Structure 1
Amino acid sequence: MRHLLLAALAAASLAFSPVQAGEAKPFATAKTIDLLTLLKPPPANDSAQTRTELGEVLTIQVTRTPDMEAAAQADAVENVWRFANVMGPNFKAESLPVFSAFFDRVVETEGAVVDPAKDSWKRPRPHQYSPLVKPVVKISNSGAYPSGHTTVGTLMGIVLSNMVPEKRAEIMARAWAYGENRIIGGIHFRADVEAGRIAGSVIAARIMEQPEFQSEFAAAKAELRKVMGL
């Protein structure tokens, strides 16, 4: 039985090899999850809410510490390995090929669903709205609403916490910080991040209903829990 299990895991590792990451197929697209009908539009550029949100960004800009800036810069990367600080030393891509390839698909799903909504709403980012804003993360000029980083952070957090419910609180706190770091970094407004959290939750709920997702989730979960000794 043990030999059969090892053989199955080896086969799965080949099927979900990390070298296929660039070809990862999303579990959903904007055609199946239309954020334009699920989210309210972003605040108008000349609204009191946008002015308040700009004030928050500018206040953070003069109060953030070097450590806060470093955390925001580190979280500019969109992958599940940003959760390593709560998952432990065994949480490494080289040890988790099936898990890694599965989350490549999860990450691709965010872009496939969120990017069309960003392109439609075209909300300016803080630095586009005001020259006073000086982001400390990589500049992006795509639409700000909803925040893609926050969406994928929330989505990854929900999926990962379903694999390791023992660490749910820590995982979701990390996902929350992932979104906050987009405001700290000066690249998103508060409404962008709040909409990203809703979007990530909606996407997670929708894709978890799919048999294809459920099958790959089960294989990735089994590998993760085995490597982590759970």
Structure 2
Amino acid sequence: MAAAALLAGCAAGGTNLSAVPEFRPGVPAGYLAAEARPDSLKLLPAPPAQGSPAQALDDDAARQAGTLRGSPRWQVAATDAVLTFPQAASAFSCALGVPVSAKDTPYLNILLRRSLVDAGLSTYGAKDRYQRTRPFVANKTAMCTPDDAAKLEKDGSYPSGHSAIGWAWALILAEVEPARADAILARGRAFGQSRVVCNVHWQSDVNEGRMMAAATVARLHADPTFRADLEQARREVAAARAAGARAPGNCQAEAAALAP
């Protein structure tokens, strides 16, 4: 199946999986050139000011999320924090209903990896300009990935790159498998909310991350390589489902942890 998809994808003008361009060693480049990516500094308002009603809402969301520390939902948030592959590929497997891997769904895998770069980088205009303090620094309480603390302290909180990536993936996967769009979009929302649960982003960071995701995915649709890869991903998922593939892991436990 993978070999057939590779040949079909090359014929259709999609990503050449034998020579994927790199953003840095081991990380494939996005589909978009820097000047084509949406600019968060132009699209987003300034983050909530200290003492403002909007910041009070962010503070309240952080307090509510604090009640989940140590819970199964907290554990999902820690897992959602991982954006390296192959682990990151499994985040939406339960919602999609089939496993995602470089071996069995190579075009879907590269679609996620390349769009990750586009969506993530789209947030950095505002991140670098505002340098908003992360909630775990401001409220001096635990976060779910303590090994990342030193790195995150130096990286602006607003908007959330993880939220942008997760919502971009959700929008793309909902096109790949429209019949499961509700489950996929719900998982994309939860992926972003994991950053609030994890105490590394404010709610407004996550909300505006979704805005950047929508802008990025809209721009991606003008890119022919993205569109070709999207079509190949649809075929891969259909073939996997027809072959009886099932999502790996404990999807019931994930659903229980994410239940409202």
TM-score scaled by structure 2? 0.77
Q: Deviations over 1:160-185 (max 9, x none)?
A: 11010010000000001001111111
Going from structure 1 to structure 2, the CA distance change for 1:98 and 1:159 (only over 3 Å counts) comes to same
Partner SS state of residue 15, structure 1: coil
2: CA distance, partners of 1:88 / 1:162: 14
**Comparing 41-50 and 14-23, the one that deviates more:** 14-23
Which consecutive segments of 4 or more residues in structure 1 shift more than 4 A?
A: 4-7, 9-14, 17-21
1:162 is matched with 175
Counterpart amino acid of residue 156 in structure 1: W
1:27 is matched with 31
Does 1:134 pair with 2:142? yes
2: CA distance, partners of 1:187 / 1:91: 27
Does 1:100 pair with 2:109? yes
Cα drift, residue 135 of structure 1: 1.1
Cα drift, residue 197 of structure 1: 1.1
1: CA distance, partners of 2:9 / 2:170: 27
Cα drift, residue 73 of structure 1: 0.4
Q: Deviations over 1:183-222 (max 9, x none)?
A: 1111111100110111111111111122222122222322
Preserved contact between residue 20 and residue 101 of structure 1 (Cα < 8 Å): no
Identity of aligned residues (%): 25
1:125 is matched with 134
2:222 is matched with 209
1:55 is matched with 60
2:16 is matched with 15
Partner SS state of residue 29, structure 2: coil
Cα drift, residue 83 of structure 1: 0.2
Counterpart amino acid of residue 59 in structure 1: Q
2: CA distance, partners of 1:175 / 1:162: 13
| Aligned counterpart for 1:42 among listed residues 23, 31, 47 | 47
Cα drift, residue 228 of structure 1: 2.3
1: CA distance, partners of 2:97 / 2:144: 28
Cα drift, residue 223 of structure 1: 2.1
Query: For the aligned residues, what is the CA RMSD?
Result: 2.8
Going from structure 1 to structure 2, the CA distance change for 1:26 and 1:11 (only over 3 Å counts) comes to closer
Partner SS state of residue 191, structure 1: helix
| Aligned counterpart for 2:90 among listed residues 81, 89, 109 | 81
Preserved contact between residue 121 and residue 161 of structure 2 (Cα < 8 Å): no
Unaligned runs of at least 5 residues, structure 2 = 244-260
Partner SS state of residue 174, structure 1: helix
User: Across the two proteins, how many residue pairs are aligned to each other?
Assistant: 227
2: CA distance, partners of 1:106 / 1:6: 19
Q: Deviations over 1:73-107 (max 9, x none)?
A: 01102234200112235433321122212221111
Please list, as runs of the form range in 1=range in 2, the aligned pairs for 1:146-161 lying within 5 A after superposition: 146-161=159-174
Partner SS state of residue 67, structure 2: helix
1: CA distance, partners of 2:6 / 2:126: 43
Unaligned runs of at least 5 residues, structure 1 = none
1: CA distance, partners of 2:27 / 2:229: 16
2: CA distance, partners of 1:181 / 1:18: 34
